[in-house]
Structure 1
Amino acid sequence: MELELRHLRTIRAIADAGSLTRAATALGLAQPALSAQLRRIEHALGGALFERGRHGVRTTALGELVLERTRVVLPAVSELQREAARFARTRRVGQRLRLGGTHGPLLGALVDRLADAAPGTTVTTCASWSERELAELLAEGRLDFALTGTCGSAPPPDPPHLVWEEIAVDPVFVMLADGHRLAAEPEVDLAALADEEWACVPGDGCFADCFTAACARAGFTPRRMYETDTASCVHLVQVGRAVGLCRATFPPTPGLAVRPLAGTPLMWRHLLGRHPAGQRQDTADTVLAQAREAHAGAAARSDSYAQWLAQRRPDAPDDVRRPVPRHPLRRLP
């Protein structure tokens, strides 16, 4: 009998279960059938892998050797299967792209732009508040690209082997009700909002900690923070319940005034993530270019962002609604 992967999985299951009875249940086999299979495996390997006792099984020295190899072989085969699936998808040009994204206007804008740039492509989307969840979906091959971001210069989400490319870096602005006492100001000092309650969309990066630190530098501790979806944040601001934190590209919304924070205490870095084996390079280049154009379009539609940019670009021409300067394509650690 030649050893097969299913035999290694059987050995792993017996070792994990600690008994043939429990392993048979986990594998959906009758115990006599599992015992017979184990005997054949042991014969093929040249010796006993387990010592049987009243309280279960224990691995022999040979069994430990084989188990050690399974810890390398089985994950390697699983990764090979995932890589093969990704490679096969790259051959099916123009058929399907799976995009993930956090809250914000860029995901919808990117889908819209790809409809023109790649008309033969079916685009599906997956939205999540969790940057880490999106990164895991990329690593598992369940997404092709993910639009997400980090606070300031924080590193991208953790899974290894992913490529993260920068789309743009924006200041964080504040949303105020039209009738707020500071709504007519060209910019708002964070310290002037010390007595306010706050609204923000949730996330699992460091933004909450960075915001708290910025408030501490301004001399106060923020009061209650409502973490909820974008529509609910907008409602809480419109009715005067809270002031909201938002990216500078937040679209014009009735009942809201979006203003920069004096001194720009918080920044947000937009990122596009992918697995290097997930798509062809020309496809990746197209998606990145369209994501940058989507961001530029969102920035151009924001009066407050256009004014903020103009103040920091004294040599800019009168038309400040052109796409904002984009960061060069680069890989991030």
Structure 2
Amino acid sequence: MDLELRHLRIVRAVADAGSVSKAASLLGLAQPALTAQLKRVERMLGGALFERDRRGARPTRLGELVLARARVLLPAAKELQDEALRFAHTSSPGFRIGATNGPILGGLVDRVAAERHVSTYTSWSTRELTSMVEMGRLDYVLTGACGDSGTPSGSLLWETISLDPVFTLVGERHPAAAEKEVELAELADEQWAVTPGDGCFADCFAMACVRAGFTPGTIYETDVTTCAHLAQVGRAVVLCQATHQAAPGLVMVPLAGAPLRWRQLLGRHPTAPDAEWVVAQARQAHTESVRRSPVYNDWLARNPGFGTTPNARLHPH
């Protein structure tokens, strides 16, 4: 087995934490697993790297030698990775955009593709897309989060594109279809459908229902087409973004008081190309999607403070 950077990270983590147990916690590993890895590193390097007792772990002379080299090599490797990503981004002929399910990706791709080549990657998982941007496999990620939640964790830079209410989709024969808006409590006996994700939306919806005085029934987590079908046949009420374009046979109905809110977010690698311009295109794509929704336009006239976040008029470099 050859010595790898991950082995040096283990040595540095134990030295910095002062104990194997604390280092395991910081690295997200079980202590036995970290202990076994440390022993393998010590066998590779020919001796004990730490003296361990009740007071913790202290580097041996060999450990001090390895630790000194690790503190040089690990930052150098990180710098090399960052430089490689910067080079890849600056030499790339276009943009690589990842996205979760959302109504403005098409508009963003259309606007950006008028200037540059665009490739896309879609996933239900914000965590997966964020990791791909951090690794340099994507330049941007277009995703969303509940209105009161923070931005996803990690090293990406985030911009809020919009703050939108969550509306409902019902079949055209549903009693709520004729209403200008509906109280969430009036839907207490309904089944629900929503597209999947790895954020906190399900918890936020459950809490909104509790505040409205009921516990939600069955929640079908499935794809957009199936959600639409369940609403059309009266099997479920669909929770959707306000910029959603309703299919034939469906009616979009706002929830009174906007008990659920959704932020459109654009995350980027710190070295992503033409960042300000891409952010501006995303905001414009959202504005255009609002214009295509008479229901949302009408609702915005009565509910200021929502919609596309302000931005300057920017141009590509």
Equivalenced residues, count: 276
Q: Name the amino acid aligned to 2:247.
A: T
Q: Name the amino acid aligned to 1:285.
A: E
* 1:204-249 superposed Cα distances (whole Å, 9 cap, x missing partner): 2111111111100110000010111111111111111110000000
Once residues 121 and 3 of structure 2 are traced to their aligned partners in structure 1, the CA distance between those partners, rounded to angstroms, is 37
Once residues 100 and 255 of structure 2 are traced to their aligned partners in structure 1, the CA distance between those partners, rounded to angstroms, is 23
The Cα of 1:73 is off from its aligned counterpart by: 4.2
1:213-228 aligned within 5 A: 213-228=207-222
Say whether the 8 Å CA contact 2:164–2:307 is kept in structure 1. no
Once residues 198 and 11 of structure 1 are traced to their aligned partners in structure 2, the CA distance between those partners, rounded to angstroms, is 48
The answer to whether structure 1 residue 142 and structure 2 residue 133 are counterparts is no
RMSD of equivalent CA atoms? 2.8
Q: Please give the TM-score of this superposition, normalised by the length of structure 2.
A: 0.79
For residue 33 of structure 1, what is the aligned residue in structure 2?
none
The answer to whether structure 1 residue 327 and structure 2 residue 310 are counterparts is yes
Structure showing greater Rg? 1
The Cα of 1:78 is off from its aligned counterpart by: 3.5
* 1:5-46 superposed Cα distances (whole Å, 9 cap, x missing partner): x867597599837359x96xxxxxxxxxxxxxx6xxxxxxxx
CA pair 308-166 structure 1, distance change in 2 beyond 3 A: same
Q: Name the amino acid aligned to 1:63.
A: L
The answer to whether structure 1 residue 263 and structure 2 residue 260 are counterparts is no
Partner SS state of residue 273, structure 1: strand
Say whether the 8 Å CA contact 1:149–1:270 is kept in structure 2. yes
For residue 318 of structure 1, what is the aligned residue in structure 2?
none
CA pair 70-327 structure 1, distance change in 2 beyond 3 A: farther
Q: Please give the TM-score of this superposition, normalised by the length of structure 1.
A: 0.75
The Cα of 1:201 is off from its aligned counterpart by: 0.9
* 1:135-162 superposed Cα distances (whole Å, 9 cap, x missing partner): 2222222210111111012111111x32
For residue 102 of structure 1, what is the aligned residue in structure 2?
100
For residue 37 of structure 2, what is the aligned residue in structure 1?
16
Q: Which runs of 5+ in 1 are unaligned?
A: 1-5, 24-37, 39-48, 52-58, 314-322
CA pair 9-190 structure 1, distance change in 2 beyond 3 A: closer
Identity of aligned residues (%): 45
The Cα of 1:328 is off from its aligned counterpart by: 4.5
Say whether the 8 Å CA contact 2:283–2:308 is kept in structure 1. no
Q: Which runs of 5+ in 2 are unaligned?
A: 12-35, 49-57, 313-317
CA pair 251-75 structure 1, distance change in 2 beyond 3 A: farther
Q: Structure 1 stretch 284-293 or stretch 59-68: which is displaced more?
A: 59-68
For residue 150 of structure 2, what is the aligned residue in structure 1?
155
Q: Name the amino acid aligned to 1:306.
A: N
